[in-house]
């Protein structure tokens, strides 16, 4: 499994350089930039120091949706109120979830939002799960470079674990499961229940491989009954 770091509309090239330096220090190499050219500014290179190859190889996308087109599992960072989002992982919990998913997920992404406003609700909706750094502060906020370092440090253990010798997993397993669930909700006329829909979609992101396989089996049986 490859973990891609995605920065959405970063404004300050120094922050992008700091993020690249944090990635290089902790063993990560794939950087994606959404709707910004900050990584091309000389200030980014000055701060990145010996990590300039990460900036040079960074991929640019116009939208977050485009940047996630080939991603099987998406984690979005946020410091905003999570009233609508019930399933939330700390960085420590996230490590365990990614360790399990490395056996059946090809590409995962960790998404960071804008320095001043973070990610929009629409962008958060593209994620499988949300995460953030628990902080004791009246105004909980981290510099973008600091936030990337915190997560890269916490997740660096992924680079120290030998990948199991298994066949390359099929891409899009979670996406296929989400689509199947949505079709079932439409079939039983439950898709208008926003609370139920949010709960189901947010919960799927926490599934382990066995959970996903069992739910596929259950959905298959329900679909057979509905078509009779």
Task: Tell whether 131 and 206 lie within a shared domain.
Answer: no
Residue ending a domain, choose from 160, 186, 201:
160
Q: Is residue 152 part of a domain?
A: yes
Residues 27-37 pLDDT 10s: 999 999 999 99
Residue ending a domain, choose from 112, 132, 160:
160
| Among candidate residues 214, 217, 227, 212, the one with its CA nearest the CA of residue 101 | 212
Q: Is residue 102 part of a domain?
A: yes
CATH code of the domain containing 100: 3.40.1280.10
Q: Is residue 7 part of a domain?
A: yes
| Plot region of 125 (φ>0 → left; ψ -120 to 50 → alpha; else → beta) | alpha
Task: Tell whether 181 and 71 lie within a shared domain.
Answer: no
- Examine the pLDDT at 200 and tell me if it is beyond 80: no
Q: Is residue 165 part of a domain?
A: no
Task: Tell whether 133 and 98 lie within a shared domain.
Answer: yes
* pLDDT attached to residue 39: 95
Task: Tell whether 35 and 134 lie within a shared domain.
Answer: yes
Q: Is residue 74 part of a domain?
A: yes
Q: What is the pTM of this model?
A: 0.78
Q: Is residue 168 part of a domain?
A: no
What is the number of domains present in the chain? 2
**27 and 159 in contact (C-beta within 8 Å)?**
yes
Q: Is residue 167 part of a domain?
A: no
* pLDDT attached to residue 162: 54
Task: Tell whether 93 and 28 lie within a shared domain.
Answer: yes
- Examine the pLDDT at 113 and tell me if it is beyond 60: yes
Residue ending a domain, choose from 103, 125, 160:
160
CB atoms inside a 10 Å sphere around CB 132? 22
Task: Tell whether 120 and 197 lie within a shared domain.
Answer: no
* pLDDT attached to residue 196: 79
Task: Tell whether 115 and 209 lie within a shared domain.
Answer: no
**Distances in whole angstroms, Cα of residue 212 to Cα of each of 56, 101, 164, 190:** 38, 11, 20, 21
Residues paired with 128 in a beta bridge: none
Mean pLDDT of the chain: 85
Task: Tell whether 134 and 70 lie within a shared domain.
Answer: yes
Residues 37-55 pLDDT 10s: 999 999 999 999 889 999 9
Question: Does 91 or 195 have the greater pLDDT score?
Answer: 91
* Range with the poorest average pLDDT among 15-19, 80-84, 111-115, 194-198: 80-84
Q: What band does 225 get if pLDDT is binned at 50, 70 and 90?
A: confident
Highest mean pLDDT among 56-60, 124-128, 182-186, 213-217: 56-60
Q: Is residue 218 part of a domain?
A: yes
Task: Tell whether 93 and 206 lie within a shared domain.
Answer: no
Instruction: Give the pLDDT mean for 167-176.
Output: 65
Task: Tell whether 48 and 115 lie within a shared domain.
Answer: yes
Question: Does 90 or 107 have the greater pLDDT score?
Answer: 107
Domain residues for the domain of 111 are: 2-160
Task: Tell whether 103 and 196 lie within a shared domain.
Answer: no
């Amino acid at each position: 499994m490859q973990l891609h770091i995605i920065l959405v509309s970063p404004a300050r090239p120094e922050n992008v350089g700091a993020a690249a330096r944090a990635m290089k220090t902790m063993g990560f190499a794939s950087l994606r930039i959404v709707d910004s050219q900050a990584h091309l500014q000389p200030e980014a290179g000055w701060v990145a120091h010996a990590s300039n190859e990460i900036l040079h190889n960074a991929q640019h996308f116009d939208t977050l949706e485009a940047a996630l087109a080939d991603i099987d599992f998406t984690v979005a960072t946020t410091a905003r109120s999570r009233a609508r989002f019930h399933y939330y992982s700390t960085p420590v919990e996230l490590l365990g979830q990614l360790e399990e998913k490395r056996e059946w997920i090809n590409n995962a992404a960790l998404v960071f939002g804008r320095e001043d406003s973070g990610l929009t609700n629409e962008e958060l909706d593209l994620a499988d799960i949300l995460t953030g750094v628990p902080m004791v502060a009246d105004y909980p906020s981290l510099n973008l470079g600091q936030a990337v370092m915190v997560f890269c440090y916490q997740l660096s253990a992924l680079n120290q674990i030998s990948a199991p010798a298994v066949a390359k997993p099929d891409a899009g397993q979670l996406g296929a499961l989400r689509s199947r669930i949505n079709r079932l909700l439409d079939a039983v006329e439950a898709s208008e229940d926003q609370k139920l829909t949010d709960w189901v979609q947010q919960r799927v992101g926490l599934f382990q491989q066995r959970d996903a396989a069992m739910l596929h089996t259950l959905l298959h049986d329900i679909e057979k009954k509905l078509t009779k």
